[in-house]
Structure formats: structure tokens, C-alpha cells
Amino acid sequence: MKISAAEVAHVAALARLRLSEEQTDKLTEQLNDILAAMDRLNELDTSGVPPTNHALELTGAMRPDKAVPGLDHQRALANAPASDGQSLVVPKVI
């Protein structure tokens, strides 16, 4: 499958891109190279290859959630610059 310079210019116009003649020619050549590579890949026999969603088999990328005890009230306020003993004291924003 080949793509023509007119098709590249048409798609560029749809994307609101202003391409020079040299840019159109270069892009046409690059797209045709990509399509040729895809054609070569389509020649491979992949009938025995199971479908995958990732090239690597990754499992357990996220750790399981575990409930752990949090900080007690006094330890949470220990490093606060200002507190009233029950909560943090911050400057008024509004």
C-alpha cells in the first residue's frame, strides 16, 4: 500500500497544517517506509502466537493494600510548626 503526496497534503489540510512541498515529499516518503515495514510484519506467521496486551509478562506491579495503624494524634502534631493541641494552626488564606 502506497500513500500519495496528494493524500498527505489532504490530511495535513484536515489537521490545519501548512506543509511546504519539501515537507510533503519527505513526509510521504517516511509514511511509505512505515507502511512497507508494516507489510513486512504482515508476512510473518503469527498463528501460534497468543495475543498479548504487553510485551513483558508483568505481574504484581502494584503492592496489595494492607491496613496498618496510622500515627496517633500527638505524634501527628509533634512536628507541626503550630498547633492548638487538637489540630494544626495555619494562617488564614481568604
Going along the chain from its start, the domains and CATH numbers come out as: 5-41 (1.10.20)
Question: What confidence tens digit (pLDDT) does each residue in 33-76 have?
Answer: 999 999 998 899 988 888 887 777 777 767 788 899 988 888 88
Hey, CA dihedral for 72, 78, 80, 85, is it positive or negative?
positive
Would you say 27 and 10 are in contact if contact means Cβ atoms under 8 Å apart?
Answer: no
Partners of 69 in the β-ladder: none
Question: What confidence tens digit (pLDDT) does each residue in 8-31 have?
Answer: 999 999 999 999 999 999 999 999
pLDDT of 1 > 80? The answer is no
Q: What is the pLDDT of residue 72?
A: 87
Q: What is the pLDDT of residue 52?
A: 82
Q: How many angstroms separate the CA atoms of 57 and 71, rounded? A: 37
> Running DSSP on this structure, what letter comes out for residue 20?
-
> How far from 80 is each of 3, 9, 26, 71, CA to CA, in Å?
65, 62, 61, 13
Q: Is residue 26 helix, strand or coil?
A: helix
